[in-house]
Amino acid sequence: MSGRRKAVFIVMDGLGDRPTPELGGKTPLQAAKTPALDRLAKEGQNALMDVIGPGITPGSDTAHLALFGYDPHCSYPGRGPLEVLGTGLESRPGDIAFRSNFASVDSNMVVTDRRAGRFFTPEEQAALQEAIDGIEIDDIQIRFLATVEHRGALILRGPGLFPDITDVDPHETGLKILECKALNQESQKTADIVNKLMIEANRRMKDLPLNKERAKQGKPPANAILLRGPGRHGEIPTLKEKYGIKSVVIAGGALYIGTAKYVGMEHVHVEGQTGTIDTNFHNIALKAIECIKSDYEYIFVHIKATDNASHDGNAQEKILAIERTDAMVDMILKAVGDKIVIAVTGDHSTPVTHQEHSCDPVPIVIWANFMRSDSVERFSEIDAAQGGLHTIRGMDVLPLLLGYSGYIDKYGA
The residues binding a second copy (CB under 8 A) are 3, 18-19, 27, 45, 48, 52-63, 72, 76, 79, 229, 351, 353-354, 357-360, 370-375, 381-382, 385-392, 396, 398-404, 408-413
Q: Which is nearer to a second copy, 94 or 388 (CB)?
A: 388
- Strands, E, within 25-173: which ranges? 45-50, 96-105, 111-113, 136-137, 140-146, 151-157
Cα 111 to Cα 170: distance, rounded to the nearest angstrom: 8
State the virtual CA torsion across 165, 141, 257, 297 in degrees, nearest 10: -120
In contact, 398 and 68? CB cutoff 8 Å? yes
CB of 344 to a second copy, least distance (A): 17
Q: Which is nearer to a second copy, 291 or 392 (CB)?
A: 392
Cα 249 to Cα 257: distance, rounded to the nearest angstrom: 7
CB of 413 to a second copy, least distance (A): 4
CB of 262 to a second copy, least distance (A): 13
Q: Which is nearer to a second copy, 97 or 284 (CB)?
A: 97
Look at residue 254 and give its three-state secondary structure: helix
CB burial of residue 169 (10 Å; 0-12, 13-18, 19+): middle
CB of 84 to a second copy, least distance (A): 13
Cα 337 to Cα 359: distance, rounded to the nearest angstrom: 32
Q: Which is nearer to a second copy, 24 or 218 (CB)?
A: 24
Cross-strand pairs, 182: 165
Q: Which of 324, 318, 317, 319 is nearest to 301 (CA)?
A: 324
Q: Which is nearer to a second copy, 33 or 390 (CB)?
A: 390
Cα 377 to Cα 49: distance, rounded to the nearest angstrom: 17
Q: Which of 90, 96, 52, 105 is nearest to 77 (CA)?
A: 96
Cα 265 to Cα 259: distance, rounded to the nearest angstrom: 9
In contact, 177 and 198? CB cutoff 8 Å? yes
Cα 148 to Cα 321: distance, rounded to the nearest angstrom: 24
CB of 10 to a second copy, least distance (A): 18
CB of 387 to a second copy, least distance (A): 8
Q: Which is nearer to a second copy, 29 or 135 (CB)?
A: 29
Q: Which is nearer to a second copy, 137 or 236 (CB)?
A: 236
Task: Pick left, alpha or beta for residue 194 (phi over 0 → left; psi -120 to 50 → alpha; otherwise beta).
Answer: alpha
Look at residue 106 and give its three-state secondary structure: coil
Q: Which is nearer to a second copy, 58 or 346 (CB)?
A: 58
Please give the helix or strand (H or E) that residue 94 lies within, else none: none
What are the backbone angles phi and psi of residue 46, rounded to the nearest 5°? -125, 160
